[in-house]
Structure 1
Amino acid sequence: MMKTLDRSKYKTIRALERGLHVMQILQQKRAATLNQVYQATDLPRPTILRILRTLEGAGWVRRGLGDGLYRNSFKIKGMLKGLDDSDRLAEIAAPFLDILCREASWPSDLAVIHHEKVYMELIETSRTKTPFLLKRDEIGHMINIPLSAMGRAYLAFCDQSERDDIINNLKETKSAANQIVKNKKIFLNDLEKIKINGYATREPSFGGGERPLKSSYDDGLQAIAVPIRIEGKVIGCISLVWVRQAATIEEIVEKFLINLKETANKIEITYGG
Structure 2
Amino acid sequence: MREYKVKTIRALDRGLEVLGYLHTARNASLHDLYLATGLPKATLTRILATLKERGLVWQRLADGAFMASHTYQPRPPQINDENFLVEVASPILGRLCQKVNWPSILAVPRLDHMEVIETNSPKSYFSHIPLGPVGFRINMLRSATGRAYIAFCSEAERKAVLLRLAASNEHGNFMANQPELVQRILDDTRRKGYGVRADDFGGHFDKTRRESDDQRDSIAVPVWAGDEVVAIINLTWMHKVATVPQIVKKHLPQLVQASKEISARLMRQA
TM-score normalised over the length of structure 2 = 0.69
- Of the three residues 107, 130, 141, the one matched with 1:111 is 107
What letter is aligned with 1:129?
A: K
Q: Tell me, which stretches of 5 or more residues in structure 1 are unaligned? A: 1-13, 24-75
Contact 2:116 2:136 in 1 (8 A): yes
The alpha-carbon deviation at position 90 of structure 1 amounts to: 1.1
Q: Percent identity?
A: 31
Equivalences for 1:236-255 in 2 at 5 Å?
236-255=231-250
Other-structure match for 1:214 = 209
- Of the three residues 260, 265, 270, the one matched with 2:260 is 265
The alpha-carbon deviation at position 15 of structure 1 amounts to: 4.2
Other-structure match for 2:122 = 128
Other-structure match for 1:169 = 164
What letter is aligned with 1:191?
A: L
Other-structure match for 2:187 = 192
Other-structure match for 2:93 = 97
Structure 1 distance, partners of 2:88, 2:235, is 17
Structure 2 distance, partners of 1:18, 1:174, is 50
Structure 2 distance, partners of 1:17, 1:195, is 52
SS at match of 2:214: coil
Contact 2:104 2:131 in 1 (8 A): no
Contact 1:110 1:123 in 2 (8 A): yes
Alignment of 1:159 with 2:168, yes or no, is: no
The alpha-carbon deviation at position 259 of structure 1 amounts to: 0.4
Other-structure match for 1:28 = none
What letter is aligned with 1:186?
A: L
Structure 1 distance, partners of 2:236, 2:255, is 11
Q: Tell me, which stretches of 5 or more residues in structure 2 are unaligned? A: 1-10, 21-72
Structure 2 distance, partners of 1:159, 1:212, is 29
TM-score normalised over the length of structure 1 = 0.68
The alpha-carbon deviation at position 202 of structure 1 amounts to: 0.6
Q: CA RMSD in A?
A: 2.6
SS at match of 2:121: coil
SS at match of 1:225: strand
| Count of aligned pairs between the two proteins | 201
The alpha-carbon deviation at position 18 of structure 1 amounts to: 8.6
